Chain A
Amino acid sequence: MQLKAPEHQVAGHIAKDGKPGPLVDDKGRFFKPLQGDSRGENEVKFYESFSSNTEVPEHIRRYFPVYHGTQAVEGSDGAAMIVLENLLADYSKPSVMDVKMGTRTWYPEASEEYIQKCLKKDTGTTTVSAGFRISGFEVFDHKELSFWKPERKLLRGLNVDGARLTLRKFVSSNSLSDIGSKPDSAFASSVYGSSHGILTQLLELKNWFENQTLYHFNSCSILMVYENESILKGNDDDDARPQVKLVDFAHVLDGNGVIDHNFLGGLCSFINFIRDILQSPNESAES
């Protein structure tokens, strides 16, 4: 089994300084190293619970990566890894964006130290102001014919207008690295807007979140993916296949009869941003 580093990882941990990062194989599987201090265990616990939870409606399962248990993998010192579906396996040139959802990333049950760390980051980003923050993205530039990924520093300093601009850039064809150019939002309707586009999927998730009291998805992200190959070929039959997935479940807790109002508030705000772009694709963000 040939394992290699994933090509399009946009957020979260990467292989660095001898510490293991995620890996993918050629059979559509994604291997995620178990994070230390019980976070990895918590994520496994969530996947195990979720996979067998009969209260999760079938149409909602598509928004979650398929879980294949844990496995010790060669070359990672026998450390256990979570085996998941590789969300990008069916895409040849995917644009990907990771958006951390919620007005806060901390939760009452966490340690005081962790809460303070999260609070600081939340107040310094659009988490507090907009209910979500963009953690990372990689987008295909149709003019340069290459992928473009911003520096992490750039993302952390984003304010509300910056987030709006970034969401437009995500579906634009024009030169993305050029800060001065106005994004053309050329693919907004096929990625965000089509009948099975991002917005439709987000609304389906919102519907579930208004009632589900099973889990609180603290610090989870929504991953948005779409295919550029079909757009390049100008193929009408093959659509951009936009997909929404929830990822990163290290901090998920039991819902205990209460809805995940933190995630839901942020999700509704995110939905409004997407809607605004669909309604006015030619407007640039106010500065």
Chain B
Amino acid sequence: MLKVPEHQVAGHIASDGKLGPLVDDQGRFFKPLQGDSRGQHEAKFYESFTSNKKVPDHIRRYFPVYHGTQLVEASDGSGKLPHLVLDDVVFVYSNPSVMDVKIGSRTWYPDVSEEYFKKCIKKDRQTTTVSLGFRVSGFKIFDHQESSFWRAEKKLVLGYNANGARLALRNFVSSNSPADSNSTPNCAFVSEVYGGSNGILAQLLELKDWFESQTLYHFNSCSILMIFENESILMKEGDDAPAARAQVKLVDFAHVLDGNGVIDHNFLGGLCSFIKFIKDIIQSVDKRDETDTSLLENGH
């Protein structure tokens, strides 16, 4: 039985008879192959990437595992359509907070149609893509006070400026309610999620290292997905508590092109900017904790 994924934060959503991805109960994610060659293009990327010996093993963990294509009953009732079959990256989480960040100071690339170029550059200039080198596409976080998920509205997210993006990144690792505009995010989980030897920052730095020399692919318009488990944080009692298992995944490869001997400087610049934002949050929390530990209790 296929159903609509619970934790999708950006991209097409299969709802109200619209075409979108589906998941099964075995941890597989079915993404419909979009028309106008984008879907085929994404399949081609996955096929190339899966068998590319030049991709180091430690980098593969940042990409969804590919299981070929399959004819599946489409979510909009239009019959059996080819779908990409991937590992559902959130399957191993029970209560995941998820954020989708589109990386790069431009989402267009050489040789696209004039129409597509105009559409992309307009959006890039209206959002933080041009100014910051990345934009938050969507996120949902678990509100520990309300014990429910809070999902950011697309309109809100696309209207972010630099401070909005910064605030969203803080909210992502906070336990207090993002809906409450009076409270500042407490960044309660910053060290478990962003920090630590296996946290988001460490993973981003590993990716950055690869991007400084890899000339295999240009990841135009790709997103970084950040995921972490809330369940373990909720149950947290001392040092035996399970980890938040924060994970970085690259997703959305409909516009990936061959690197042709040049590094993906567009993605890399944006990634470095994103890394700086995360670093700044970690440092500001460290500083705050040094001066006044009681602030954490005052978060609500």
Contact = CB atoms under 8 A, between A and B. Distances in A.
Interface of A: 103-104, 108, 123, 128-131, 160, 164, 210-211, 213, 256-259, 261-262, 264-266, 268-269, 271-272, 275-276, 286
A160 to B, nearest CB: 6
Given A258-B162, A261-B132, A272-B215, A104 B272 contact: no
Given A131-B266, A258-B131, 12 more contacts: A103-B106, A103-B266, A103-B269, A104-B106, A129-B262, A258-B132, A261-B105, A264-B268, A265-B268, A268-B265, A272-B215, A275-B213
Interface string B246-267: 0000000000000011110110
A276 B133 CA distance: 26
B32 interface: no
A283 to B, nearest CB: 11
Interface of B: 105-106, 110, 125, 130-133, 162, 212-213, 215, 260-263, 265-266, 268-270, 272-273, 276, 280
A108 to B, nearest CB: 6
A108 B266 CA distance: 17
A265 B105 contact: yes
A129 B261 CA distance: 11
Nearest to B109: A128
B162 A256 contact: yes
A122 B269 CA distance: 17
B131 A265 contact: no
B276 A259 contact: yes
A207 to B, nearest CB: 11
Nearest to B121: A119
B103 to A, nearest CB: 10
Contacts of B162: 256-258
Q: What are the 5 tightest A-B residue pairs by CB atom distance, in nearest-first order?
A: A265-B269, A131-B265, A261-B133, A261-B269, A265-B265
A210 B106 contact: no
A244 to B, nearest CB: 18
Given A265-B265, A265-B266, A210 B260 contact: no
A268 B263 contact: yes
Contacts of A129: 110, 262
A286 B215 CA distance: 15
Given A103-B269, A264-B269, A265-B269, A130 B276 contact: no
B129 to A, nearest CB: 10
Contacts of A160: 260-262
Contacts of B105: 103-104, 261-262, 265
A269 B105 CA distance: 15
A108 B130 contact: yes
Contact of B265 (A103, A123, A210, A213): A103
A269 B131 contact: no
B262 A130 contact: yes
B117 to A, nearest CB: 9
A63 to B, nearest CB: 19
A39 B276 CA distance: 30
Given A103-B106, A258-B131, A261-B133, A269 B263 contact: yes
B218 to A, nearest CB: 9
B67 to A, nearest CB: 33
A264 B96 CA distance: 33
Contacts of A213: 276
Given A104-B105, A108-B131, A268 B276 contact: no
Nearest to A123: B110
Contacts of B266: 103, 131, 265
A176 B262 CA distance: 25
B175 to A, nearest CB: 25
Nearest to A285: B261
Contacts of A271: 212
A75 to B, nearest CB: 43
Contacts of A275: 213
A269 B265 contact: yes
B147 to A, nearest CB: 34
Given A123-B110, A129-B110, A268-B212, A262 B272 contact: no
A256 B132 CA distance: 10
Contacts of A262: 105, 133, 269
Nearest to A163: B262
Contacts of A104: 105-106
Contacts of B125: 108
A258 B110 CA distance: 26
Contact of A261 (B212, B262, B272): B272
Nearest to B162: A258
